[in-house]
Amino acid sequence: MRFRDLAYLVVSNLARMKLRLVLTSLGVVIGTSAIVLMLSLGIGLQRNITAELGQIGAATHINVMGGVFGPGMNEPKPLDDRAIREMESLEHVDAVMPAVSVTNIGDVSYKRYTTFLMVQGVPMEPFQRLGYEIEAGRLPRNDKEILLGAAVPASFAAGFGPQGAVGGSPTPDLIGKRLDVTFFEYPSDTADPMAMPTESTRRLTVVGLLAPSDMQTDQSAFVTLEAALEFNGVTQRRATYESVIVKVDLPASVADVEKVLTDQGYYTFSARSIQQSLNATFLIVQAVLGALGAIAMLVAALGIANTMTMSIYERTREIGIMKAVGASNRQIKRVFLGEAAIIGVLGGSGGLLFSISGAALANLFVASMIEAQTSGAGGGATQSSFFHIPPSLALFAIAFAAGVGLLSGVLPAMRAANLDPLTALRHE
Amino acid sequence: MTNAVEVSGLTREYIMGGQPLQVLRGVDLSIEHGEIVCVMGPSGSGKSTLLNIVGGLDRPTAGAVVVEGEDLAVMDDERLAVYRRRQVGFVFQSFNLIPTMTARRNVELPLLFAGASAAERGERAAAALESVGLGARIDHRPTELSGGEQQRVAIARAVVGEPAIMLADEPTGNLDTTTGGEILALIREMNAAGRTFLITTHDRAVAESVADRIVHIVDGAIERIEQGGTS
Ligand SMILES: Nc1ncnc2c1ncn2[C@@H]1O[C@H](COP(=O)(O)OP(=O)(O)OP(=O)(O)O)[C@@H](O)[C@H]1O
Ligand SMILES: [Mg+2]
């Protein structure tokens, strides 16, 4: 029997039972959809999350905050120089860098450009050991010098900030240039909440530009720790830092070190732990989809087996006729296996179509959620598709559904093939 | 020169309620090329059983069946299917056409399982239907055909693969006398062109109208063989 003729027999047999065909493949549609969505979620996350997390920070960095206030919480553990020395002595820790953000900073302007900057005071020696690379210039040495993140010159040009009226200007070369930085000082000895702050301006020289790294770093500027403390009006002796960055030797050490720090009462976060908790969340979603898919596929397989058994019973006499005119057991088996496989393929294609449109809708929904949450916050770099269906997954889905159909058809097809021709011919 | 069919010591037993039931008990029969042999006997005498064993649809309990020099006893199921495809053309009392297929598709079926190309199948099926006088009904389904026409389609299907032997089990059993007569005339015509037939019937008139020899079976054994009235 030629393949074309086998296909003809299979298709014309299936064409006779359209309704039953549709109902039976519906199970496969559901099963395939659940499985494809599960896998596409996994693929989509792998593709995107890692890229997105790169913006939070490097894979070997842990951000440590002082302890968390709140009912049932411990007293916040102060992040001071002693705490930093303790952290530095921990296993796997390469460097610890405290950071003091300059809180009372206002506009930063250069000529007609104005922008708004997050300015961090950091000790320069651990700053280097954390792995930040300088693209041009050098590190600040005194409280008159400032180092800019990779995206800052462009933010001048884009005209961020309240007076951002010069958008679209060419990115200025700022190395060696002086920036005017506005500081506010709130009178500390008055009880009047409405008291107006006094403004002062300092000139800082841009001495260096960082190479692009994570998003937060790219949009920050850095001064020496002493400068930041001075800007904030704090003396170093009593300093507690609001956060420090701990660099560990390997990404694999992050979890261990983070655990030690949390046990000591610090609040920590890292790209790695966020990734892990995200993965855990999505793993649950995937597990639910996977279980749903497995159950649906199993039910679908039983449905196919049932439909095949019924249609073989109804066509018993026909099988007898085919055997009488020379069909071999193997040929009969192929016809029914073919029918079962086609039911699988139809269901698989339906499921694939369904999951492609489902994934597109879900991606659209997630994108609009993210947009709603981040609207106005600038950034807007989120172009994530959580569900991703590559061609290989589509092919796999169809093949898998065909395989499920084929497998479900094995027993009924064997029964059909092994029917005694005379018994089959006598069947009415 | 060998005979078309050589049956010797053929026994067929069924086990019914633990007891062996002998349906055929030592049948010896040879059929020459170009011969029409009719098997006659009362209901339950084993006519169909004999025919089915010769056609490779059933297997003997003991004894040998050799068709065109091929011993059916040594064939497994696959080879027996190939044997049915190449050497045998079945015609049944109840026609046994596939109701969803047109006359042409029904007639093509044996060639399809034999792996013939669509073009060859179409040509040969059309020729076979032409030869049974149904050239104009080629695209009709069985439900659109009379009993006699359906039996002609069945005969076309049996003959299309050029088998060594045509096996017809009560081919006129479901037809009125006139229509049955037309079928018998068709059989004679094919026989004149060289086809060999083994036909069962319990109608003496049928046997006498076509048979070269009439084999009388009673209780699974040949009682006597009678030379027919034709040729
Ligand atoms: N599968 C079977 N199991 C048990 N007994 C069977 C089976 N098939 C046939 N028989 C018995 O074998 C005997 C012969 O049957 P067979 O069909 O060959 O008779 P027949 O001569 O063709 O009769 P009829 O003229 O009614 O067609 C019958 O008694 C029948 O009951
Ligand atoms: Mg009979």
How does pLDDT run across A311-359, given as a tens digit for each residue? 999 999 999 999 999 999 999 999 999 999 999 999 999 999 999 999 8
Q: Rounded to whole angstroms, what are the CA distances from B57 to A269, A278, A328, A335, B217?
A: 78, 66, 12, 20, 20
Atom 12 (ligand 1): residue with closest C-alpha?
Answer: B23
In a domain? residue B6: no
Q: For residues A416 and A319, what is the distance between their CA atoms, to the nearest angstrom?
A: 7
Candidate from B45, B51, B94 with most ligand 1 atoms within 8 A of CB, to mutate: B45
Under an 8 Å CB criterion, which residues of A touch B?
1-2, 4-5, 9, 12, 16, 317-318, 320-331, 421-422, 425
Enter the tokens of residue A108: 């930063």
The pLDDT tens digits of the residues spanning A234-264 come to: 765 556 787 888 988 887 888 888 888 888 8
Ligand 1 site, residue B131, Cβ cutoff 6 A: no
**For residue A418, what is the nearest residue in chain B, using CA coordinates?**
B77
Give the Å distance between the CA of A327 and the centre of ligand 2. 23
Instruction: Look up tokens 């930041």; give the residue.
Output: A228
Question: Which residues in chain B are closer than 8 Å to A327, comparing Cβ atoms?
Answer: 81, 113
Atom 9 (ligand 1): residue with closest C-alpha?
Answer: B49
Distance (Å) from the alpha carbon of B115 to chain A's nearest alpha carbon: 4
Return the beta strands (E) in A30-104 as ranges.
Answer: 61-65, 93-101
Residue B30: count of CB within 10 angstroms of its CB: 14
Strand partners, B135: none
In a domain? residue B68: no
Q: Rounded to whole angstroms, what are the CA distances from A268 to A10, A61, A246, A272, A350?
A: 62, 10, 10, 11, 46
What does the buried/exposed string (b/e) look like for B94-111 if buried means 16 or more CB atoms within 10 Å of the residue's CB?
Answer: bbbbbebbbbbbbbbbbb
Count of A-B CB contacts under 8 Å: 69
Q: A56 Cβ partners below 8 Å, 6+ apart?
A: A214, A215, A216, A271, A274
In a domain? residue B83: yes
Name which of A1, A4, A425 is nearest B113 (Cβ-Cβ): A1
> Does B86 reach chain A within 8 Å, measured CB to CB?
yes
Q: For residues B187 and A264, what is the distance between their CA atoms, to the nearest angstrom?
A: 102
Determine the atom of ligand 1 nearest the C-alpha atom of B217. Answer: 21
Question: In what helix (H) or strand (E) does residue A277 lie, and over which residues does it extend?
Answer: helix A271-314
Enter the tokens of residue A335: 């016809």
Name which of A321, A324, A330 is nearest B78 (Cβ-Cβ): A330
In a domain? residue B11: no
User: Is the distance from CB of A222 to CB of A127 less than 8 angstroms?
Assistant: yes
The confidence score (pLDDT) of residue A83 equals 86
Residue A165: count of CB within 10 angstroms of its CB: 9
Least Cα distance to B199 among B164, B150, B166 occurs for: B166
Ligand 1 site, residue B15, Cβ cutoff 6 A: no
Q: Which long-range contacts (CB under 8 A, 24 or more apart) does B9-13 make?
A: B9/B62, B9/B63, B9/B64, B10/B50, B10/B53, B10/B60, B10/B62, B10/B63, B10/B64, B10/B65, B11/B60, B11/B61, B11/B62, B11/B63, B12/B46, B12/B49, B12/B53, B12/B58, B12/B60, B12/B61, B12/B220, B13/B61
Number of structural domains (chain B) is 1
Least Cα distance to A38 among A407, A362, A404, A367 occurs for: A362
User: Is the distance from CB of B56 to CB of B73 less than 8 angstroms?
Assistant: no
Least Cα distance to A128 among A207, A237, A222, A241 occurs for: A222
Name which of B88, B97, B100 is nearest A16 (Cβ-Cβ): B100
pLDDT of A282 above 90: no
Q: Report residue A201: phi and psi, to 5°.
A: -120, 135
The confidence score (pLDDT) of residue A164 equals 42
In a domain? residue B116: yes
User: What CATH number corresponds to the domain at position B223?
Assistant: 3.40.50.300
Enter the tokens of residue B93: 């009392």
Residue A210: count of CB within 10 angstroms of its CB: 24
Atom 13 (ligand 1): residue with closest C-alpha?
Answer: B44
Candidate from B22, B49, B199 with most ligand 1 atoms within 8 A of CB, to mutate: B49
Enter the tokens of residue B68: 């065109």
Distance of CA A303 to the CA centre of its chain: 37
Name which of A4, A16, A327 is nearest B113 (Cβ-Cβ): A327
Ligand 1 site, residue B140, Cβ cutoff 6 A: no
Q: For residues A13 and A31, what is the distance between their CA atoms, to the nearest angstrom?
A: 24
* Contact criterion met (CB < 8 Å) for B96 and A425: yes
Atom 19 (ligand 1): residue with closest C-alpha?
Answer: B44
> Does B161 reach chain A within 8 Å, measured CB to CB?
yes
Give the range of the structural domain holding residue B167, as residue numbers without chain letter: 33-59+79-227
Determine the atom of ligand 1 nearest the C-alpha atom of B49. Answer: 18
Least Cα distance to B97 among B137, B56, B149 occurs for: B149
Q: What share of chain B is helix, strand, coil (3-state, %, to 5)?
A: 40, 30, 35
Rg (alpha carbons) of chain B, rounded to whole number: 17
In a domain? residue B17: no
pLDDT in tens, chain B (231 residues): 589 999 999 999 999 888 999 999 999 999 999 999 999 999 999 999 999 999 999 999 999 999 999 999 899 999 999 999 999 999 999 999 999 999 999 999 999 999 999 999 999 999 999 999 999 999 999 999 999 999 999 999 999 999 999 999 999 999 999 999 999 999 999 999 999 999 999 899 999 999 999 999 999 999 999 987 654
* Contact criterion met (CB < 8 Å) for B57 and A324: yes
3-state secondary structure (DSSP) of residue A94: strand
Strand partners, B216: B40, B224
Q: Which of A325, A332, A426 to probe by mutation at the B interface, max B CB count within 10 Å? A: A325
Mean pLDDT of chain A: 82
Candidate from B14, B38, B222, B223 with most ligand 1 atoms within 8 A of CB, to mutate: B14
- For Cα atoms A327, A328, A331, give the angle at the middle one, nearest 5 degrees: 85
Give the Å distance between the CA of B173 and the centre of ligand 2. 10
Q: Is the ipTM of this complex over 0.90?
A: yes
In a domain? residue B47: yes
* Contact criterion met (CB < 8 Å) for B90 and A5: no
Q: For residues B203 and B120, what is the distance between their CA atoms, to the nearest angstrom?
A: 38
The pLDDT tens digits of the residues spanning A369-405 come to: 766 665 544 444 445 577 888 899 999 999 999 999 9
- Alpha-carbon torsion angle B179, B185, B190, B192, nearest 10: 180
In a domain? residue B163: yes
Name which of B57, B98, B112 is nearest A1 (Cβ-Cβ): B112
